[in-house]
Amino acid sequence: MTREILICGNDEFICDWPLYDLDTEGEEGDRATEWVDAVVEALESLGHSASCPHDELRTFHGWNGARFIRTAGRGAVGTFDDFSDSEWDAIETAVESATAKIEAELEAD
């Protein structure tokens, strides 16, 4: 059984939530892409695959209104599938680490 982890691909949502501490004015698309890439890499290192949806979940309101079973990354990573608590804790830690890495890189610029 393949379980799906979805990553929000909406620039506005990502810059408003996981990267809310940073000034991304005028660079939202680049910063959101960097964050998504870092999160995908972190999740793949755990043996999970993740993707950005290309349907109604692509919009800010579509993502914000989704009724995920679990979320991470201040709501920018979600799933409708079952994961154990320990699996999801590892996923949350990976997302938090990826977010901290991007924040550190952006603050250094």
Mean pLDDT of 91-96: 95
Task: Identify the domain containing residue 66 by its residue range.
Answer: 5-108
Task: Give the number of domains in the chain.
Answer: 1
Residue 77: predicted pLDDT: 95
Residue 24's pLDDT band (cuts 50, 70, 90): low
Residue type, 38: A
Q: Measure CA 35 to chain center.
A: 7
Buried b (16+ CB within 10 A) or exposed e, 2-30: eeebbbbbbbebbbbbbbeeeebeeebee
Q: Taking the model in full, what pTM does it have?
A: 0.88
